[in-house]
């Protein structure tokens, strides 16, 4: 679709480790509790610091389940952006945990032609790495391992469903700047609506506050990607992706493109209320699994780890 450009000679930026100082504290439990308080994560922090789950909790899923669901999605985003920006994925110390660990298929460093898009990719990669480490630190020994992730064939399947490529053609998310932006658009709005849908399921207000802080970052990410796509005129492609995502949840009409040549739609909102729509966990799963039956395929070929899968 777009010509691939020459590889950049600049070395990948050093990745920050936002929790390194905390996890090397002489009192690991005390350090973790302090770190969690700084994030606004409350009761879940008590649980992962060693105490039992609060008695009498009868809900189908608890706060740990919700944050592990979010961690699965953050693994996906981090692996995509880390590979696109730096040519390497998460470290072994960032992916262990409970459940079935998996490998990552696909991904490579992009030879960006636009320096500004490269800088956006680097910033998003660093943010998503920090999200993974933040959630893992908060969850402690309850954190799930990174499941098997496909960021190769899954993009082709998504692009075929949206009609961006033919039924026998491939879509290379790493070929150039615009393919990268379209690939990022496939999940950015989903991440925002996933946090919105998961928020009401959290029982502790402090945990809701912590989730809201990550949600705000995801919203900025989605806005940055939508803006770059808009200024480059990818109106029809984004609408096709939005329609394909709606089709994965029959009866819904949540998704939106970025507008057209006359009208921008850079902010993903309900046009009547001005607020961003939420997705239920099942609706999110249908999108990342790329089917309407909540059957593990697509970006998570073996399913997510944790209770919500």
What's the rounded Cα separation, in Å, for the pair 35 and 302?
32
Work out the average pLDDT over 212-234.
96
Q: Report how many domains make up the chain.
A: 1
Radius of gyration of the chain (CA): 19
What's the rounded Cα separation, in Å, for the pair 165 and 178?
14
Residue 97 has a CB neighbour count (10 Å cut-off) of 21
What Cα–Cα distance (Å) separates residue 232 from each residue in 33, 151, 204, 236, 262?
Answer: 45, 24, 42, 11, 14
Work out the average pLDDT over 226-253.
96
Tokens of 37: 């308080």
Examine residue 284 and state whether it is found in any structural domain, yes or no. yes
22-59, pLDDT tens digit by residue?
A: 223 323 334 344 434 444 444 343 232 222 233 333 34
Q: Check residue 271 and give its pLDDT.
A: 84
What Cα–Cα distance (Å) separates residue 124 from each residue in 29, 49, 75, 114, 218?
Answer: 30, 29, 13, 16, 9
Residue 143 has a CB neighbour count (10 Å cut-off) of 24
71-125, pLDDT tens digit by residue?
A: 999 999 999 999 999 999 999 999 999 999 999 999 999 999 999 999 999 999 9
Residue 105 host element (H or E)? strand 104-105
Residues 143, 97: contact at Cβ < 8 Å?
yes
Examine residue 233 and state whether it is found in any structural domain, yes or no. yes
Examine residue 168 and state whether it is found in any structural domain, yes or no. yes
- Coil, strand, or helix at residue 27? coil
Examine residue 46 and state whether it is found in any structural domain, yes or no. no
Examine residue 90 and state whether it is found in any structural domain, yes or no. yes
Examine residue 295 and state whether it is found in any structural domain, yes or no. no
Q: Mean pLDDT of all residues in the chain?
A: 84
Domain, as residue range, for 216: 62-289
175-220, pLDDT tens digit by residue?
A: 999 999 999 999 899 999 999 999 999 999 999 999 999 999 999 9
Examine residue 129 and state whether it is found in any structural domain, yes or no. yes
Q: How many residues does the chain have?
A: 309
Examine residue 187 and state whether it is found in any structural domain, yes or no. yes
284-305, pLDDT tens digit by residue?
A: 999 999 999 999 999 999 999 9
Q: Check residue 170 and give its pLDDT.
A: 97
């Amino acid at each position: 679709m777009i010509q691939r450009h020459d590889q950049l000679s600049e070395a990948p930026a050093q990745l920050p480790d936002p929790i390194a100082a905390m996890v090397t504290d002489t009192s690991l439990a005390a350090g973790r509790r302090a770190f969690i308080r700084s994030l606004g994560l409350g009761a879940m922090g008590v649980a992962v610091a060693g105490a039992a789950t609060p008695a009498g909790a009868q809900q189908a899923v608890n706060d740990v389940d919700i944050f592990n669901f979010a961690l699965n999605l953050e693994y996906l985003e981090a692996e995509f952006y880390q590979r696109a920006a730096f040519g390497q994925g998460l470290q072994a110390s960032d992916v262990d945990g409970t459940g079935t660990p998996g490998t990552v298929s696909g991904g490579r460093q992009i030879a960006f032609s636009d320096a500004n898009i490269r800088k956006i990719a680097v910033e998003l990669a660093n943010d998503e790495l920090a999200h993974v480490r933040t959630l893992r630190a908060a969850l402690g020994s309850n954190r799930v391992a990174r499941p098997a992730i496909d960021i190769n064939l899954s993009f082709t399947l998504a692009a075929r469903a949206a009609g961006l490529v033919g039924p026998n053609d491939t879509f290379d998310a790493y070929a150039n700047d615009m393919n990268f932006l379209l690939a990022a658009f496939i999940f950015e709005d989903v991440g925002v609506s996933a946090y919105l849908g998961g928020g009401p399921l959290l029982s502790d207000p402090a945990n809701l506050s912590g989730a809201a802080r990550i949600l705000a970052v995801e919203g900025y990410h989605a806005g940055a990607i939508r803006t770059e796509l808009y200024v480059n005129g990818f109106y029809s492609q984004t609408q096709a992706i939005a329609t394909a995502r709606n089709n994965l949840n029959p009866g819904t009409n949540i998704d939106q493109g970025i507008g057209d040549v006359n009208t921008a739609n850079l902010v993903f909102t309900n046009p009547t209320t001005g607020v961003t729509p939420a997705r239920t966990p099942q609706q999110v799963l249908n999108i990342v699994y790329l089917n309407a039956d909540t059957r593990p395929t697509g970006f998570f070929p073996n399913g997510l780890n944790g209770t919500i899968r």
